[in-house]
Amino acid sequence: MKVVVQRCKRAKVSVNNQVVGAINEGVMLLVGFTQNDSLKEIKYLADKVINLRIFDDENGVMNKSLKDVNGSILSISQFTLYADTSRGRRPSYIKALNGKEASNLYDKFNEELKNHNIHVETGIFGSEMEVDFINDGPITIILEKEG
């Protein structure tokens, strides 16, 4: 499982020109799954996202977590995180988990985030989405946990 965490001032996702999810201060997540991912990886990475100390304290030091700043999450499914570009010019997505299983894990991941009393907005799994956000910092961190 891979999660790209981007600290943001605000973020929104649209499908067919309609906003389906939006947040203010918090993190925008790109979330991808591969074979052998399970609830174990979901719990580990949800906890990691919630408790990453990537927000500034009163001294301008990244010392506060999402919980500390009462931030929100915009979670976007992103199978292309498992693109293999080692051969040729066209990425292979064979390592990405199939849609049905990935959708199930994505829903479980978002529920796990909500279990930490964090406001979570999402896109629509499998849809063509337009994501608009202001990266704060810019702070971008890639998390990965193999099943």
- Total tally of structural domains belonging to the chain: 1
What angle, 0 to 180 degrees and rounded to 10, lies between the N-to-C axes of helices 39-51 and 99-114?
40
How do residues 60-108 score in pLDDT, each as one tens digit? 999 999 999 999 999 999 999 999 999 999 999 999 999 999 999 999 9
Cα–Cα distances in angstroms (integers) from residue 75 to residues 25, 59, 78, 87, in the given order:
14, 29, 9, 30
Range of the domain at 9: 2-144
Are 41 and 89 within 8 A, CB to CB?
no
Question: Residue 84 maps to which CATH number?
Answer: 3.50.80.10
Taking residues 35-49, what's their average pLDDT? 97
Q: What is the pTM of this model?
A: 0.95
Sequence-distant (6+) residues with CB within 8 A of 108 are 39, 42
Active site positions, annotated? 78-80
